Structure 1
C-alpha cells in the first residue's frame, strides 16, 4: 500500500499540470484553477477516510470541520447575536469533527466500498453539483471540479494497486485487487446504492456536452499552445 506522501505527491503533480493546462486554455480562472488543483490533491487523500486514524482522515475531517464552522458563522453573523454565532459555529465543528468522523469510522471498513470505482465517480458527481448549484459555476468549470476530484481519487486507487505488487518477488501482495474494484458482492446493497447515487446525480447534472466541446476544441488547444510559446 502506498504511504501518505506518495499519495499526495502522486495526486499533486498531475493535478498541478492539468490545472495549468486548464488555465492556459482559458477553461477556468486562476482562482478556480487553484481550487481544481486542491480538489485533485484532496481526491488523492480521500479514499483513506475509511481508515480510522490515518493522516488523511485527520486532515480531511479537520478541514471540513473548520470549513463548516466558518460557513455557519458567515451565514449567521448579520442577523444573530455574536454568542449564538460562536455557539452555532462550535456545534458545526463538533458535528463534523466528532459526529461525522465517528459515523464514518463505524460505517466504513478499510479497503471496502470507499476504495472502489463507483465511489470515485460518486464524489466527482457530488463536486460537480456543489460547484454548479452552490457556487454557481458554469458547466465547464463545474465539470472540471468533479474531474479533478475523481482524478485524484483514481490516482490513489491505482497507486494502492501498484504498491500491492511485489516486483522483486514477482508476486501479488494480499491487498491486490481491493482498490480498483467495481463493487462488492458481499456488500451488494451498498454497491447498488453507490451506482444509484452516481446515476441519479449524473441525470440531473449540468450538460456535459459543453464541457466536452470546450476541452476538445481547437480554440482551447490554440490558447494552450500560445501560452507555452510565450514562455520560451
Structure 2
C-alpha cells in the first residue's frame, strides 16, 4: 500500500497539469480550476476513509467537522443567541469528527468496496450534482469537477495496486487486486447498490454531451496552444 506522501503527490501533480490545461482551454475560470485541482487531491486521499487510523481519514473528517461547524454558525448567527450558536457549532463538530467518523469506521472494511471502481464513479457523479445544484455551475465545469474527483480516486487505487507488486522478488503481494476491482462477490448487495446508485445519478445528472464536445473541440485545443505559445 502506497503511503500518504505518494498518494498526495500522485494525485496533486496530474491534477495541477489537468487544471492548468482546463483553464488554458477556457473550459473553467481560474477559481473553478483551482477548485478542480483541490478535488483531484481530495480524490487521491478519499479511498483511505475506510482506514480509521490513516492520515487522510484524520484530514478529511477534520475538514468536514470544521465545515459543518462553520455552516451551523452561518445558518444560526443572525437569529440565535451567541451562546446557542457556539453550542450548536460544537455539537456539529463533534457529530462529524466523532460520530460520523466512528460510523464510517464501523461500516467500512479497509480495501473493501470503498476501494473499487464503482465507488470511484459514485463519488465523481455526486460531485457533478453538488457542483451543478449547490453551486450553480454549467454542465462542463460541473462534469469537470466530477472527473477530477474520480481521477484522483483512480490514481490512488492504481498506486495501491502498483505497491502490491514486488518487482525485486518478482511476485504479487496478497493485497494485489483489492483496489482496482469492479466490486466484491462477498459484498454482492453493496456492489449492486453502488452500481444502481451510479446509474441513477448519471441518469438525472446534467447532460454530458456538451462537456464532451467542449473538451474535445478544436477551439479548446487552439486556446491551449495559444496559451502555451504566449509563454515562450
TM-score with structure 2 setting the length: 0.98
Aligned residues: 232
Q: State whether structure 2 residue 26 is matched by structure 1 residue 26.
A: yes
The equivalent residue for 2:66 is 66
Query: Within 2, Cα distance between the matches of 1:158 and 1:64?
Result: 26
Query: Within 2, Cα distance between the matches of 1:141 and 1:211?
Result: 8
The equivalent residue for 1:231 is 231
The equivalent residue for 1:187 is 187
Gaps in structure 2 of 5+ consecutive residues: none
The equivalent residue for 2:53 is 53
Counterparts in 2 of 1:1-232, with a 5 A limit?
Answer: 1-232=1-232
Gaps in structure 1 of 5+ consecutive residues: none
Q: Is the partner of 1:128 in helix, strand or coil?
A: helix
Query: Within 2, Cα distance between the matches of 1:130 and 1:27?
Result: 18
Query: Within 1, Cα distance between the matches of 2:197 and 2:225?
Result: 39
Q: Is the partner of 1:157 in helix, strand or coil?
A: helix
Q: Report the RMSD for the aligned CA atoms in angstroms.
A: 0.8
Q: CA deviation at 1:31?
A: 0.8
Q: CA deviation at 1:224?
A: 0.5
Query: Within 1, Cα distance between the matches of 2:83 and 2:211?
Result: 45
Q: Is the partner of 1:94 in helix, strand or coil?
A: helix
Query: Within 2, Cα distance between the matches of 1:147 and 1:82?
Result: 41
Q: CA deviation at 1:159?
A: 0.3
Q: CA deviation at 1:115?
A: 0.2
Q: CA deviation at 1:128?
A: 0.5
Q: Is the partner of 1:211 in helix, strand or coil?
A: helix
Query: Within 2, Cα distance between the matches of 1:224 and 1:79?
Result: 49
Query: Within 1, Cα distance between the matches of 2:131 and 2:91?
Result: 25
TM-score with structure 1 setting the length: 0.98
Query: Within 2, Cα distance between the matches of 1:218 and 1:35?
Result: 25
Query: Within 1, Cα distance between the matches of 2:76 and 2:143?
Result: 30
Query: Within 2, Cα distance between the matches of 1:164 and 1:40?
Result: 23
| Post-superposition CA distance 1:118-153 (Å, at most 9, x none) | 000000011111100011111111100100000000
| Post-superposition CA distance 1:67-125 (Å, at most 9, x none) | 11111211222222222222222121111111110000000000000000000000001
| Post-superposition CA distance 1:142-168 (Å, at most 9, x none) | 100100000000000000000100111
Q: Is the partner of 1:147 in helix, strand or coil?
A: helix
Query: Within 2, Cα distance between the matches of 1:131 and 1:76?
Result: 24
